[in-house]
Amino acid sequence: MFWSRAIIYLIRLIFIINALYLAVTLKFVLAALLLGSLVLVLVPEIFTKITGVKIPKGARACYAVFILGTQWLGTYLRLYDSLLWWDIMLHFLSGILLGYVGLVLMVWLDKEHSIKGENKPIITILFSFCVAVSGAVFWEIIEFLADTFLGSHTQLGSLQDTMEDMIYGTLGAALFACYLYRGFRRNKVLLFEKLIALNKKDKEDE
């Protein structure tokens, strides 16, 4: 728990210090990009405040590291340009991360935890997978709109790049779905059950 909190605050500090440096050196566009990235890091806390659904610190730390990889390492330090596999890796990891987001959304939407019995594993896995794949497609739509109206070059003007990104995101989602399936088959305490237990505990404490 200590290391998770330390990672989250360290990443926030990186964005803040770097954004201030860029503002002082009059590079306002890059400064705005990093400040926007800082807001993205705060999304789990914002989601919790709005919905009341608690997210474990470990999951929040993984999410913060992912944002660091995409925005600071990938865009600002240009690892997308210097490492050909960087973009592929992040799209694959995004499928896993969005699969977990599907679990968080399920806990929020099913507040009474009414999904039980034999159908619970199937519904949980399908919902998680569909959220992850939808997220991969939605991201490509955002990139297309940015390239079309803002003059960016995120999709490299290539249908192949778009399809590869969606495929790798889907593969990540499929891997996460397999992990969930294996856990349900072996009756292990999964991420989903841990999320439910965390939020039940908070309600009991209230």
Kindly give the residue spans of alpha helices, DSSP state H, lying in the chain: 2-24, 28-41, 43-51, 57-67, 79-82, 84-109, 119-149, 159-185, 191-205
Q: Are residues 96 and 40 in the same domain?
A: no
From 49, 82, 115, the end of a domain falls on: 82
High-pLDDT (> 70) share of the chain, %: 91
From 31, 56, 82, the end of a domain falls on: 82
From 64, 82, 100, the end of a domain falls on: 82
Q: Domain span at residue 172?
A: 84-206
pLDDT band, very low/low/confident/very high, at 202 (cuts 50, 70, 90): low
User: For the chain, what's the residue count?
Assistant: 206
Please give the pLDDT value at position 142: 82
Query: Has residue 56 got a pLDDT over 90?
Result: yes
Q: Are residues 110 and 205 in the same domain?
A: yes
Q: Summarize the confidence of residues 7-26 as an average pLDDT.
A: 95
pLDDT band, very low/low/confident/very high, at 79 (cuts 50, 70, 90): very high
